[in-house]
Structure 1
Amino acid sequence: MSGLRSTGIRTALLAVPLAVSLIGAAAAPAGAAASRPVASLTCRGKGVDPEALVRYRAETVIDAPLRTIWKVQTDVERWPSWQGTVETVERLDDGPFRKGSAFRWTAPIPPNPSTPATSLEITSTVEQLERGSCIRWTGPATGEGLRIDGVHVWNFTKVKGGVRVSTEETHAGAQVDANVPFATEILRQGLDAWLRDLKATAEARAHHQSS
């Protein structure tokens, strides 16, 4: 899963993960734009959950080589070094990051109207991947009184000034469906924070490599 996250606590889902990302007041990254899309992002023809009520899409342009951005994003075991409160990440397979790769990661969640404060455990599996172009992962995120099924898609496109990184994620589950606007706002905060951190980390690494 990717991402429920926030500035105060930034996490994610995969679906993303998935990404799950969670609560706080995260500002959108410089150069980012977000909206509810007409058509979903895809990776090898597969997109997010078309039935999910909670969804968000965002993008930013990163001034760094594609290979650098790809390395930062797919070296999942190093996420805690640059993503605020991703607490732990464990690869569940060996070798290159590829279709079928799986990883388990944890992030704290503050209390909210539906659930108490807890730690979220996310198990993400890469379902589709095209190296240097796109990733799609899925998986559940679970915590005390909470389960979210997430789908997270990432696209990477070379553009003038760098690489446009676009991401879209959906969440489904009884708890998030009970308050869609609130859950969507949490997801927005998480994905915006993830893009901001990815941009800052990749650009800093590219600057260091070129100096």
Structure 2
Amino acid sequence: MAAVPPAQAAPAPASAPAPAQAPAGRGGSACRGHGVDPAARIRYGSDVVIHASLARIWTLQTDVERWPVWQPPVTGAERLDAGPLRKGSRFHWTTPAPATPTTAATTLEITSTVRQLQRGGCVLWSGPAVGEGLRIDEGVHLWTFTEVDGGVRVHTEETWTGAQVEADVPTATAALAAGLEAWLRDLKTTAEHA
């Protein structure tokens, strides 16, 4: 799916300022003309500049089966097809989802399908995330990579839909934000220091 690394981290404490939210999927980023769900109520986007080569960053991000090596919140990942990641590729991965006021802690089982991909430029995947007592019907996750002076600007945005997560939009959005920020930090740290 897209993505639910968001569920991988606990929501930000109420006293902490919320990270800046990008206008995900609204006239902004896209991969081959496709982006996140414009009608989704749960959305978050963020950017980071990583001081590493585009080739290194792209390899880290698209070698799905190695995600658990550099992303502690990803507890398992496997490709469901062979060869380089491409449009139509599918992968299954797991990540913990912390307890919230309405759900117990669980492990999300995610099956993602790549919807669009431009090698070295962008990737868009989507799919459901299901755990015991928790379901995200559709997560849509976009990544774009743009070379800038001294590195690469990595932009990510994700949307979630589904009755259960939409019942508490602020909590779901906080979980999504925390997960995406953690993913960007892990990607930056690994790309710059490995």
Q: How high is the TM-score relative to the length of structure 1?
A: 0.83
TM superposition shift of 1:2: 4.0
Measured against aligned partners, the alpha-carbon deviations of 1:144-182 in whole angstroms (never above 9, x if no partner) come to 122111000000000012000000000011121111111
Letter in 2 for 1:153: L
Aligned equivalent of 1:23: 10
Aligned equivalent of 2:148: 159
Unaligned runs of 5+ in 1: 5-11, 14-19, 27-32, 206-211
**RMSD (Å) for aligned C-alpha atoms:** 1.7
Q: 1:174 to 1:150 in 2, by over 3 A?
A: same
Aligned equivalent of 1:203: 192
- Establish whether residue 63 from structure 1 lines up as the match of residue 68 from structure 2: no
Do the aligned partners of 2:95 and 2:107 also contact (CA within 8 Å) in 1?
yes
Measured against aligned partners, the alpha-carbon deviations of 1:24-62 in whole angstroms (never above 9, x if no partner) come to 559xxxxxx842325232100001011110000100000
Paired-residue identity, %: 59
Residues of 1 paired with 2:102 and 2:28: CA distance? Answer: 28
TM superposition shift of 1:94: 0.2
Residues of 2 paired with 1:124 and 1:143: CA distance? Answer: 15
Aligned equivalent of 1:171: 160
Q: 1:130 to 1:157 in 2, by over 3 A?
A: same
Residues of 1 paired with 2:12 and 2:167: CA distance? Answer: 22
State the aligned residue count. 186
Do the aligned partners of 2:8 and 2:98 also contact (CA within 8 Å) in 1?
no
Unaligned runs of 5+ in 2: 14-18
